[in-house]
Amino acid sequence: MTKISQQPDYHRWTLYLLFGLGLARLIGLYFSPLNLHGDEAQYWAWSRDLDLGYFSKPPMIAWVIGTTTSIFGNGEWAVRMSSPLLHPIIAYILFRTARLLYDERTGFWAACAYFLMPAVWLSSGIVSTDVALLLFWALGLSAFFHVRETPRMKWAGLLGISIGFGMLSKYAMLFFCLL
């Protein structure tokens, strides 16, 4: 009898990793004794009076904090909640992009490499403009490669929307256009 080697279900393992560690990060955030630092408090103040832009930043950070605090209240954990919610989504987008370009195994390791980086662990405990930027950068990157593989208007539209929302997150999204 020959043994049939079964390929691991990398998609399922990616989802387990992102959901499990994402939930652990949310729980850790809820029980964290840390108060808001200067930038976080400023972003929270902006979220109390939503606008189309602020002194030094585009409006996305205030919009995101405004969304989480309108649902969960004004606790420090609610102000910071968007970060541990968005990082698993970013990692999943990276999984899907690497799967498109290579295979599921590569996608799994791309998601792991991103999601397990110490900087991402740290970023999951604070709220910053970088998380929304990374979300739209990853979406834009995925759309860019989809346009190259299968040129369709939906991918071109997603690319444009990603760049637009990325610019509303952080002006560094302009560097994406150098691709």
Question: 130-169, pLDDT tens digit by residue?
Answer: 999 999 999 999 999 999 999 999 999 999 999 999 999 9
pTM: 0.93
Q: What is the pLDDT of residue 7?
A: 84
- How far is Cα 28 from Cα 11, in angstroms, rounded to an integer? 26
Kindly report, residue by residue over 84-135, the tens digit of the pLDDT. Answer: 999 999 999 999 999 999 999 999 999 999 999 999 999 999 999 999 999 9
CB 132, CB 61: distance < 8 Å: yes
DSSP the chain: -PPPP----HHHHHHHHHHHHHHHHHHHHHH--PPP-HHHHHHHHHHTS--S--SSS-SHHHHHHHHHHHHH-SSHHHHHTHHHHHHHHHHHHHHHHHHHHS-HHHHHHHHHHHHT-HHHHHHTTS--HHHHHHHHHHHHHHHHHHHHHS--HHHHHHHHHHHHHHHHH-GGGGGGGG-
Mean pLDDT, rounded, of the chain = 95
The CA-atom distances, in angstroms, between 41 and each of 1, 76, 122, 166, 171 are 66, 9, 18, 22, 21
Task: Tell me: pLDDT of 32 over 80.
Answer: yes
